[in-house]
Amino acid sequence: MKLEMNVSATEPDWTRETVTGFWDAGPKLIRAVRRYQAAKENAGLFGGVMSKYWVLVHRFWSIITQSELHLHMPIGGGLRLPHPTGVIVHPNARIGPNCMLMHQVTLSGAVTLGGHVDVGAGAKLLGAITIGDNAEIGANAVVTSDVPEGAVVVGIPARVIRVKGQDTDVTE
Ligand SMILES: CC(C)(COP(=O)(O)OP(=O)(O)OC[C@H]1O[C@@H](n2cnc3c(N)ncnc32)[C@H](O)[C@@H]1OP(=O)(O)O)[C@@H](O)C(=O)NCCC(=O)NCCS
């Protein structure tokens, strides 16, 4: 996972969700959630019909990706799902702006991701925990407690190996 420099933890970068082709499954799944929520905000017949349409679109891309990104959950703008398979997000989870979830990531329960949190492939984040802005979760980590801002964590259970912007090695 390449650290993306200059990604904001607070200002959503909507270009990260751009759909680039029909089979661009990650952005298509996210777009279905966005459009459903927008349709729901539109009272009246049109909003009602469109919300049902986006439910069907959402079902389609959920099946294709074997992922669960619930229609009602608040998701900060700029979410990226680069390899959208098996990404499971509990409806009580919260995702800040400009986050990235790799394949086979699970957010189980009321996990709160800050802004610009990158979660590596296969990582599992369990319970009512908070991940600070700009944190990075290593591939296959199992995270069971809060992660400070800018921390890079790996392992089972996950431990901090370094904090971005600090030269100190925190492995010992
Ligand atoms: C966690 C991560 C961001 C750390 O990257 P980094 O800061 O460059 O760290 P390093 O590669 O220098 O590794 C530092 C130490 O952590 C260990 N480590 C790195 N990633 C690890 C992981 N996922 N699980 C367990 N240990 C890991 C290294 O073995 C090394 O240990 P050592 O100091 O005992 O030798 C990165 O390794 C990672 O897991 N990224 C996710 C990648 C991903 O999911 N890619 C999907 C692409 S399809």
87 touches 67 (CB < 8 A): yes
Q: How far is the CA of 72 from the centre of ligand 1 (A)?
A: 33
The model's confidence at residue 42, banded by pLDDT at 50, 70 and 90, is: confident
Q: Model confidence over 8-24: pLDDT tens digits?
A: 999 999 999 999 999 99
Cα–Cα distance between 68 and 87 in angstroms, integer?
A: 6
Cβ(154) – ligand 1 distance below 6 Å: yes
Report how far residue 12's alpha carbon sits from residue 96's, in angstroms, rounded to the nearest whole number. 9
Question: What is the edge-to-edge ordering of all strands in the sheet holding 94-95?
Answer: 94-95, 112-113, 130-131
**Class for the domain spanning 14-163:** mainly beta
DSSP state of 86: S
What is residue 171's predicted lDDT score, i.e. its pLDDT? Answer: 54
Mean pLDDT for the stretch of residues 129-158: 98
CA distance 36 to 74: 12
pTM of this structure: 0.94
Do residues 88 and 104 touch, judged by C-beta distance below 8 A? Answer: no
Cα 139 to middle of ligand 1, angstroms: 7
How many other CB atoms sit within 10 Å of the CB of residue 118? 23
- Average pLDDT, rounded, for the chain: 94
Can you tell me the mean pLDDT for 67-78?
A: 96
- Please tell me which residue, 47 or 142, carries the higher pLDDT value: 142
pLDDT attached to residue 44? 85
Confidence band for 166, pLDDT divided at 50, 70 and 90: confident
Q: 36 pLDDT exceeds 90? A: yes
User: What confidence tier does 106 reach under pLDDT thresholds 50, 70, 90?
Assistant: very high
Cα gap 71→79, rounded to integer Å: 14
Answer yes or no: is the C-beta of 161 below 6 A from any ligand 1 atom: yes
Tokens of 2: 């390449």
Angle at 81 between CA 134 and CA 29, to 5 degrees: 135
Confidence of residue 167 (pLDDT cuts 50, 70, 90): low
- Whether 165 has a pLDDT exceeding 90, the answer reads no
Q: What percent of the chain has pLDDT over 70?
A: 94
Interval between CA 119 and ligand 1 midpoint (Å): 12
Beta bridge partners of 125: 107, 143
133 lines ligand 1 (CB under 6 A): no
Residue 119: strand pairing partners? 101, 137
Q: Where are the domains of the chain?
A: 14-163
Peptide bond into 91 cis (omega under 30): no
Count Cβ neighbours within 10 Å for each residue of 121-155 and write b for 16 or more, e otherwise: bbbbbbeebebbbbbbbbeebbbeeebebbbbbbe
112 alpha carbon – ligand 1 mean position (Å) = 22
Q: What pairs with residue 153 in β-bridges?
A: 137, 160
